Chain A
Amino acid sequence: MEAAFLQLVQQHAGILHKVCNLYCTHPGDRQDLLQEMMLQLWKSFPAFRNEAKLSTWIYRVVLNTAITAFRKEEKRPATQALTEETILYDREDDASLYNEQWKMIQGAIGDLTDIEKAIIILYLENRTYMEMEDILGISQATLRVKMNRIKEKLRKKVNAQTF
């Protein structure tokens, strides 16, 4: 089971990191959240019986953990400035390109609500509305309305930055 779990986690490492980056701005909180996701995946892995798609199961566990985890970050100001310290990884192997890209993504998505972040993550991960409904429990019609609202928010943000 360990080998299968390791393979699964390595295959989906990208999404785990991306979700941590979007839900936490502080490096310590990101690491805590990553560990929490890993533990939750590990605990629920034996119960996974292919009733749902593997990717659906992973997104569910990862997003449920990110949204309901009682993070230390809640004690910090909600609109914490995105400083170099909070954005950059403290690991030596982090490419600056990676950090630059994340700065841009966080700048755009960082202000969305937790639910909106979950929706945009699944959208960016190329999930269909049917899968999104399965993962989030929000009807496809509502998801479409919310997605339009998110697009509008992003557009307004771009305009605000331009002028």
Chain B
Amino acid sequence: MELQELEKIWRDPAAEKTIQQREVEEMLRGSSCNHISKMRTNLFRELVTVIISVFIVSVVYFSGFGGRLQEVSWIYIGLAMVFAAYYFAKNRLLKDMLNHTGNLRNHLEHRLNKLEKYTRYYLIAGSALVPVILFAFYFLLQQKTIPLQVFGFSRHTPGFIIFYSLVTIILTAALYCFNKWNIRVLYGKHIEKLKRLLTEMNDV
């Protein structure tokens, strides 16, 4: 098909479709089906889950064990507060991604930049979780008079510290690898697509 023929068909009034007020109202009543909106919904669900879980754990440790392990509750409350800050930072990034009013190049660059930042947050926060929790529990163990032996190491011996550090390093590395893989599965395709589109735009 030659371009002139295409232009003729494109501009043919018969090719113009109308839209009724009822259809517009129905569409505006519906919810957005784009992935950013879904990501925001999932993020909010994560926040609710964390708040409920921390509330339950805190109640158990505050009221149980004769009140001797209240510090565990404070550790979890602290983590929940960090998660809340993480939630607001991620949510702000996602909200920023929904702005569609700039030109296409700016829109793609902006979205790519925010998405890469978002995945960095995910990777750092997700991987830092294990060492932060394990270190917090290590210091808690040192404060409490709990008789604890792991593989024959008493908690005050250098052997225990080495063993505990090794476990922390291995778990952190494993979580880092898992998060990296998960990010690639969840967002890799879209990041690649944005990069490909930008490369094509710059190509002469």
**Shortest Cβ gap from A21 to chain B (Å):** 9
Residue A38 is within 8 A (CB to CB) of chain B in the complex: yes
Residue in B closest to A157 when the chains form the complex, CB atoms? B1
Q: Are A35 and B6 in contact (CB under 8 A)?
A: no
Q: CB < 8 Å: which of A42, A47, A101 contacts B28?
A: A42
Report the Cα distance A74→B30, complex, angstroms.
22
Interface of B is mostly: helix
Q: CB < 8 Å: which of B1, B7, B19 contacts A13?
A: B19
Residue in A closest to B38 when the chains form the complex, CB atoms? A70
Known contacts being A13-B17, A145-B204, is A105 close to B6, with CB within 8 Å? Answer: yes
**Shortest Cβ gap from B189 to chain A (Å):** 7
Residue B142 is within 8 A (CB to CB) of chain A in the complex: no
Q: Are B34 and A135 in contact (CB under 8 A)?
A: no
Total interface residues on B, using CB and 8 Å? Answer: 44
Report the Cα distance A57→B1, complex, angstroms.
30
* 1-42 of chain B: CB within 8 A of chain A: 1-3, 6-7, 9-12, 14-19, 21, 24, 27-28, 30, 32-36
Report the Cα distance A129→B200, complex, angstroms.
18
Known contacts being A35-B33, A145-B204, is A137 close to B105, with CB within 8 Å? Answer: yes
**Shortest Cβ gap from B93 to chain A (Å):** 15
Q: CB < 8 Å: which of B16, B18, B32 contacts A39?
A: B32
Q: Are B194 and A108 in contact (CB under 8 A)?
A: no
User: What chain A residues lie within 8 Å of B143 (beta carbons)?
Assistant: none
Residue in B closest to A108 when the chains form the complex, CB atoms? B1
User: What chain A residues lie within 8 Å of B68 (beta carbons)?
Assistant: none
* 66-85 of chain A: CB within 8 A of chain B: 67-70, 74
Chain A 124-158 interface 0/1 with B at a Cβ cutoff of 8 Å (1 = within): 11100000001111100110010000010011011
Q: Are B9 and A105 in contact (CB under 8 A)?
A: yes
Q: Are B102 and A60 in contact (CB under 8 A)?
A: yes
Residue B180 is within 8 A (CB to CB) of chain A in the complex: no
User: What chain A residues lie within 8 Å of B1 (beta carbons)?
Assistant: 104, 107-108, 154, 157-158
User: What chain A residues lie within 8 Å of B50 (beta carbons)?
Assistant: none
In this complex, the member of A38, A43, A114 whose beta carbon has the largest number of chain B beta carbons within 10 angstroms is A38
Known contacts being A13-B17, A14-B17, is A65 close to B3, with CB within 8 Å? Answer: no
User: What chain B residues lie within 8 Å of A57 (beta carbons)?
Assistant: 101
28 contacts between A and B (CB under 8 A): A13-B17, A14-B17, A17-B17, A18-B15, A32-B33, A34-B27, A38-B24, A39-B30, A39-B32, A60-B101, A60-B102, A64-B102, A68-B108, A70-B34, A70-B36, A70-B190, A101-B14, A101-B15, A105-B6, A115-B197, A135-B104, A136-B104, A137-B106, A141-B204, A151-B3, A154-B1, A154-B6, A158-B1
